[in-house]
Structure 1
Amino acid sequence: MPPQYYAPPPPPGPQYGWGPLPPQPRKRSGGTALLVVAVLAVVAAGGVFLAVKLTQGGGDGPATAAPVATESATPEPTTAPSSVPPPPPTAAPRPTRTTRTTTKVTPPKPAQTVNPATYNATHRLYKTGVMRTVNCKQAKTGLGNGSQSLAYFKTIKTCLDRAWPKQVAASGGPFRSPGLVVWGGSVNTPCGGGVGRSFYCPTTHTIYMESPSIVSFYKQNPTFGRMVGTFTMAHEYAHAVQWMTGLGVAYTRLRYDASAAGALQLSRRLELQASCLGNVFLGANRNSYGITGYAYQMWLYDVNNSGDRPPYPRDHGSTTNHGAWSRAAFQSRNPASCNTWSASPARVS
């Protein structure tokens, strides 16, 4: 269950989403060597908007009111009048020595406030063990347009909905399948809007997948586009896991009193953990999903080249650190590899 804190949450701020996408790799004609394009492709959506809201899972269970304790007053005994004469007087009894019984009362322990930094650094999620495969398979549809993207992301989400409940429950959090919106152009949410980035909004417990950028990658290199789309979806779903388990709630409490530099470091810890947890899922399903051979090379290129770049703020982590956390999680398939909250500042720079 998410911890309770005394500090109020910060006002609605930026959404928790994916950082700048990596540059598009290109294959040389007839060869397998990759040429890194230095300029990030910018996709103009032309005002096209695709927003398909999928059915959200579960939702909060019905609230059950706790029984209210009631007291029934017992009437004091009364003496009814009687026609029987009173008994004759008797000698007063001798006083007897009474023994005083002392009962030791133990005061209740005061409620302890959970320290959000300690909560995140020692979370039970890290002890839930290796994630088992759910034999997730890639959708046969590609990512050539918005409707195909919707079908593709729905397939991945179905796998994620089967992979994470056990881990979330073992960590003490209630699992709720997040919603999904696939969009292009612009989108407005309680967490703000976004252009060119996918994100997760805790307020609506919904993942907002921006499709035009990924469609562009897919048209240039289908395998790379699939790996970018797959990893982005796993990353955003991991943000939903952070909020289901209380890690995200604790993050907002830590950020409330943080300095500007401190807030950026907290954001990097949150984002690097989301990428790490996303790759726990991908590593657990690497064989059934087909992240082998050339697809593995494209996944590796993606995670090793994703991260903060000028002029973006340093809120997602360096490409070096992003690759390190991602590779470790892919190999271990264990959330224990994703404790960014106890890592040194250098590992989350």
Structure 2
Amino acid sequence: MKWRGRRGSRNIEDRRSMGGVGGGLSIFGVLIVLGIGYFFGIDVTPLLQATGVGTQESQPAEITEADERAGQFVSVTLADTEEVWADIFRRQVGEAYRPATLVLYKGVTQSPCGGASGATGPFYCPADRKIYLDTAFFTQMERRMGAGGDFAAAYVVAHEVAHHVQNELGILGQANQIRAQSSEERANAISVRIELQADCYSGIWARAAEARFGSLEPGDLDEALNAAKQIGDDTLQRNAGRVPQPHTFTHGTSEQRQRWFATGYNEGDVRACDTFSANRL
């Protein structure tokens, strides 16, 4: 992916020098986090496991050269999404696009949707319209999931931005409202449709970025498709030594995630990403 030397986004909130902040959660705090996570569709289980109850000391984090490079990469990628979605909203939606803010952190930070840590992975919080990302996740993708490459990392950013797009279109709020009133199995099924639509929107972004910036290089799409494969629910459960349980899926299978990304890339139209009306996911 060609990104060096290009414009970065102004919508970056860099908290990395702050290090880990905040203490452990009280029982009341745990209940709040669980409620927010359920309503907004965020899996907070890893957070609760990582946080526990007690006190965490705040220590300034060292910003390495790799951190600086990753931050610049994310900033350029975010800027690309801003230009692409502003154009798509103007042409296909007939409305102005309001970009999200992306919070870069290192270790632990806080959001209205609960705490963020390396265990939670990147996520979008509708409450403050911000994306939370510890760039160490890119290293985890490469070393633990076999999903390396700069465009695989760009796909992660684009996917979280896609949740913001859903929020701007009113889709995310409606879907999460229904989830909050549903059984666990039905809520999971709705979550899958949310995530697959975000994958489809990511494909739309990839197509537009290629046409608008000429930033894609040979092998980039393969990196994104491989990342989609490695973070499919069935693949993650198999890699954890478990038999895949479809009723527990919240993001979709590897095949589904790849196919919906490809749909967005091939069609380039938000109407092609209506996973909520699709008979086949």
Q: Which TM-score bucket, shorter chain as reference?
A: 0.5 to 0.7
1:210, CA displacement in angstroms?
1.9
Q: Secondary structure at the match of 1:200?
A: strand
Partner of 1:341: 276
For 2:200 and 2:59, the matched residues in 1 are separated by: 32
**Is 1:12 matched up with 2:18?**
no
Which residue, 129, 154, 161 being the options, matches 1:237?
161
Which residue, 196, 210, 225 being the options, matches 1:300?
225
Counterparts of residues 18-57 of structure 1 (less than 5 Å): none
Q: Which runs of 5+ in 2 are unaligned?
A: 1-33, 44-57
For 2:141 and 2:214, the matched residues in 1 are separated by: 19
Amino acid at match of 2:105: W
For 2:190 and 2:62, the matched residues in 1 are separated by: 31
Which residue, 169, 173, 180 being the options, matches 1:249?
173
CA spacing shift, 1:300–1:292, aligned 2, 3 Å = farther
For 1:260 and 1:233, the matched residues in 2 are separated by: 28
Q: Secondary structure at the match of 2:133?
A: strand
Moved over 4 A (4+): 14-18, 47-52, 216-220
CA spacing shift, 1:162–1:258, aligned 2, 3 Å = same
Aligned residue pair count = 220
Counterparts of residues 1-349 of structure 1 (less than 5 Å): 11-13=35-37, 145-169=66-90, 170-171=92-93, 175-196=97-118, 197-215=121-139, 224-286=148-210, 288-308=213-233, 309-310=236-237, 313-344=248-279, 346-347=280-281
1:185, CA displacement in angstroms?
1.6
Provide Cα deviations, 1:259-290, integer angstroms capped at 9, x if missing partner.
11110011011011011101101022236444
CA spacing shift, 1:207–1:316, aligned 2, 3 Å = same
Which fold has the larger relative contact order, with Cα–Cα distance below 8 Å and residues 6 or more apart in sequence?
Answer: 1
Q: Which runs of 5+ in 1 are unaligned?
A: 1-9, 19-46, 53-142
For 2:210 and 2:131, the matched residues in 1 are separated by: 23
1:328, CA displacement in angstroms?
1.6
Q: TM-score, normalised by structure 1?
A: 0.55
1:292, CA displacement in angstroms?
3.7
CA spacing shift, 1:49–1:322, aligned 2, 3 Å = farther
For 1:333 and 1:252, the matched residues in 2 are separated by: 25
**Structure with max Cα Rg:** 1
Q: Name the Cα RMSD after superposition.
A: 3.4
CA spacing shift, 1:164–1:48, aligned 2, 3 Å = farther
Of the structure 1 ranges 329-338 and 232-241, higher mean CA displacement relative to structure 2 is found in: 329-338
Q: TM-score, normalised by structure 2?
A: 0.68
1:233, CA displacement in angstroms?
0.6
CA spacing shift, 1:297–1:167, aligned 2, 3 Å = closer
For 2:59 and 2:70, the matched residues in 1 are separated by: 14
More helix by share: 2
Amino acid at match of 2:172: G
Of the structure 1 ranges 297-306 and 196-205, higher mean CA displacement relative to structure 2 is found in: 297-306
Whether contact under 8 Å (2:162, 2:202) holds in the other structure is: yes
1:253, CA displacement in angstroms?
2.0
Of the structure 1 ranges 193-202 and 225-234, higher mean CA displacement relative to structure 2 is found in: 193-202
Whether contact under 8 Å (1:251, 1:270) holds in the other structure is: yes
Provide Cα deviations, 1:169-224, integer angstroms capped at 9, x if missing partner.
5536553221111122222211112333101111111111121121455699xx93
1:326, CA displacement in angstroms?
0.9
Whether contact under 8 Å (2:152, 2:220) holds in the other structure is: no
For 2:35 and 2:143, the matched residues in 1 are separated by: 39
Whether contact under 8 Å (1:279, 1:330) holds in the other structure is: yes
